[in-house]
């Protein structure tokens, strides 16, 4: 017996567009099996079958506009098939999403809910490529899409772009202005995103008493005949190198298998520079072999070059550990993102004058906040706490370096 399957009551919507067909002629379908996906301006929804049977004729195609009681398809009901459920009169559980059409072939062969399809589209994932489908009757679940993304990391940067496009219609809420990202910001954004999503970051916070160091630095600047101004960053670089030699894992990278550490016997320190073109990280090569004055001079030269966008490849390559100093600006602490393939980065915030207990009384001390982010696959919490404590020790009395 033939049965015409019609569009049930679709709530307030008078007309919706067919965006996906999920069955083809000859398919045997069951009650509640999704037949097609329709979409209005605000919602998309799957329309289920009200009967069991074999699809003999399809009355709609992708792009058609349909409404309540429009014919969807003709089913041949199998003999001795009893429809135990009454036809769905009304579809209330609309998934409030915006979907975009897939090709007819995809629609038929791939079983996934509109929300999963939408998620996959936003992430730039082709559902056809997902072979691990863990839902009932081989349906693709959101988890399957996520697992696919995790295993195919290349997709990630494209995803970001696609997601941005989908969310770009802010003009309906008020005035907006488009500002293209600079080339450098785009590239560093992709790297930061990849690093943040692939490396398990932990940040260890600490502080160093730099009262004596600051006295020494300011005094040196006052009496020096050189034009080179010493900022605290050069002392921090020198101290970091000293500590890196004691904790070699911080000066390493994981190899591509993720099973071996590559310990580097050279000390090239990157430092983040804020420029109008975006964030740049020039590198002070062989910092262990340079004096604090030489390091200061290089900071000045390289940051000037960065601000004129004139750094060359050798200025930015080969760093083994990076420092990001926001101390000249402010803030108490932050979580810097590792400059991959390195395994740790030191964030430095603004020195603050604090009352510190010396076992008898509070004394005013200049405290430098340190934020050490590390790759937890390589470095554990105890090691990072020891690294920060040792660094803090050296900064509190830099003379220890020459012992």
Match 């629609």 to its residue by tokens.
Answer: 107
* Shortest Cβ 196–ligand CAO spacing (Å): 12
* Shortest Cβ 320–ligand CAO spacing (Å): 18
Q: Which residue sits closest to ligand CAO, CB atoms considered?
A: 327
Token reading at 2? 């033939």
Q: Which of 111, 201, 268, 376 does the annotation list as catalytic?
A: 376
Q: Following CA atoms 309, 313, 316, 319 in sequence, which dihedral angle do they give, to the nearest 10 degrees? A: 180
* Shortest Cβ 367–ligand CAO spacing (Å): 10
CA atoms within 13 A on the CB side of 55: 25
Q: Which is nearer to ligand CAO, 149 or 299 (CB)?
A: 299
Is 201 catalytic? The answer is: no
Token reading at 143? 């988890």
* Residues 42 and 75: beta-carbon distance below 8 Å: no
Match 């020494």 to its residue by tokens.
Answer: 216
Integer Cα distance of 180 and 381 in angstroms: 40
* Shortest Cβ 378–ligand CAO spacing (Å): 21
Q: Which is nearer to ligand CAO, 70 or 231 (CB)?
A: 231
- Give the interface with ligand CAO as residue ranges (CB under 6 A): 231-233, 271-274, 279, 299, 303, 324-328, 348, 350-351, 368
Q: Which is nearer to ligand CAO, 130 or 323 (CB)?
A: 323
Other beta carbons within 10 angstroms of residue 170's beta carbon come to: 9
What does the H/E/C string look like for 53-113?
A: EEEEEECCCCCCEECCCCEEEEEECCCCCCCCCCCCCECCCCECCCCCCCCHHHHHHCCEC
β-pairing, 344-348 vs 321-325, is parallel
* Shortest Cβ 272–ligand CAO spacing (Å): 4
**Which stretches of 246-340 are assigned E, i.e. beta strand?**
252-254, 261-263, 269-271, 273-275, 278-280, 283-284, 321-325
Q: Which is nearer to ligand CAO, 21 or 367 (CB)?
A: 367
* Residues 195 and 187: beta-carbon distance below 8 Å: no
* Shortest Cβ 304–ligand CAO spacing (Å): 9
Q: Which is nearer to ligand CAO, 144 or 207 (CB)?
A: 207
Q: Which is nearer to ligand CAO, 27 or 274 (CB)?
A: 274
Catalytic residues: 376
């Amino acid at each position: 017996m033939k049965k015409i399957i019609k569009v049930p009551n679709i709530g307030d919507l008078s007309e919706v567009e067919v965006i996906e067909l999920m069955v083809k002629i000859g398919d045997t379908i069951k009650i509640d099996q999704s037949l097609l996906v329709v979409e209005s301006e605000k919602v998309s929804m799957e329309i289920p079958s009200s009967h069991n049977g074999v699809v003999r004729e399809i009355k709609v195609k992708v792009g058609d506009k349909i409404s309540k009681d429009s014919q969807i398809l003709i089913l041949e009901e199998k003999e001795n098939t009893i429809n135990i459920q009454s036809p769905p009169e009304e579809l209330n559980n609309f998934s409030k999403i915006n979907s975009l059409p897939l090709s007819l072939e995809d629609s038929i062969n791939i079983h996934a809910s509109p929300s999963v399809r939408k998620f996959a589209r936003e992430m730039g994932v082709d559902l056809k490529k997902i072979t691990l489908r863990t839902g009932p009757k081989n349906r693709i679940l959101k988890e399957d899409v996520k697992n696919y993304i995790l295993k195919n990391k290349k997709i990630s940067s494209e995803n970001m772009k696609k997601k941005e496009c989908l969310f770009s219609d802010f003009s309906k809420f008020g005035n907006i202005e488009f500002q293209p990202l600079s080339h450098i910001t785009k590239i560093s954004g992709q790297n930061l995103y990849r690093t943040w999503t692939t490396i398990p970051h932990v940040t260890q916070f600490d502080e160093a008493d730099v009262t004596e160091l600051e006295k020494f630095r300011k005094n040196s600047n006052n009496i020096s005949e050189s034009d080179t101004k010493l900022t605290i960053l050069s002392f921090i670089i020198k101290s970091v190198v000293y500590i890196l030699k004691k904790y070699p894992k911080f000066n390493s990278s994981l190899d591509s298998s993720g099973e071996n550490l590559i310990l580097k016997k050279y000390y090239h320190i990157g430092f983040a520079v804020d420029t109008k073109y975006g964030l740049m990280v020039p590198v002070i090569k062989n910092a262990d072999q340079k004096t604090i004055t030489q390091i200061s001079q290089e900071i000045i030269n390289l940051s000037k070059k960065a601000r004129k966008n004139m750094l060359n490849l050798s200025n930015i390559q080969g760093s083994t550990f990076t420092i990001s100093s926001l101390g000249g600006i402010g803030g108490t602490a932050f979580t810097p993102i590792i400059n991959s393939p390195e395994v740790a980065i030191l964030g430095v915030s603004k020195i603050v004058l604090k009352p510190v207990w010396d076992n008898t009384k509070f004394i005013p001390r200049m405290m430098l906040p340190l934020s050490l982010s590390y790759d937890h696959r390589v470095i554990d919490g105890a090691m990072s706490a020891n690294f920060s404590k040792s660094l803090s020790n050296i900064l509190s009395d830099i003379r220890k370096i020459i012992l």
